[in-house]
Each structure stands twice: as C-alpha cells, then as structure tokens.
Amino acid sequence: MASRSKLSGIQKQVLALYRGFLRTARLKSPEERHRIESVVSAEFRENARNIDRKNFVYIEYLLRRGKKQLEQLKDPDITGLSTLQINKSSSH
C-alpha cells in the first residue's frame, strides 16, 4: 500500500462510487447483498480492464451513470439488482 502512487481525482471518484455501492448493498437482504456485490464488482473489474485509462470522456460518463444507478439503488423500495446479457453481434 505504501508504495502505491497517489490516486488522481477521477480514480478517487471511481473508488468512492464503488464504496457507495458496497455500503448501499449492506442495507439489502443478505442474499441480495451478495448478488449486488458480485454484479457491481464484475462491472467495475471489467471496465477497469477494458477501458483506456485516458478516455476521460467515457469514464466520466460511466461515473455519472453509476451515480444515477446508485441513487436508484439507495431507494428502500428497491430490493435487488440484476443484469442482462445482450448479444451485440446478433442485435445488429
């Protein structure tokens, strides 16, 4: 940890968003919490792997989208989160 270089502002925002999701997941039922955590972490990991780290326009867009989804998830009426796989090659 000590050797890690200082995080940039946008990196901090991404981590804060991730933390926000984990904290919100804690408010849901245990099995849903587990599912939300796995979905969210898979999404974050995939984006971290695939997105060019200098593509700020896109990262900021994802941040805004994530914040909106987090706002929705915070609603106590919302119990869970689910994902949908779209096969892009067949949809076009």
- By CB under 8 A, the residues from 22 to 81 that bind another protein are 51-52, 55, 57-58, 61, 64-65, 68
Question: Which of 55/79 has CB closer to another protein?
Answer: 55
CA 20, CA 23: separation in Å to the nearest integer?
Answer: 5
List the one residue out of 76, 64, 70 whose CA is nearest residue 22.
70
Question: Which of 12/64 has CB closer to another protein?
Answer: 64
Q: Measured from the CB of residue 44, what is the shortest distance to another protein in angstroms?
A: 15
- The residue type of 68 is K
Question: Which of 34/68 has CB closer to another protein?
Answer: 68
List the one residue out of 45, 58, 56, 50 whose CA is nearest residue 18.
45
Dihedrals phi, psi of 8, to nearest 5 degrees: -80, 170
By CB under 8 A, the count of residues binding another protein is 9
- Which residues contribute to the site for another protein (CB under 8 A)? 51-52, 55, 57-58, 61, 64-65, 68
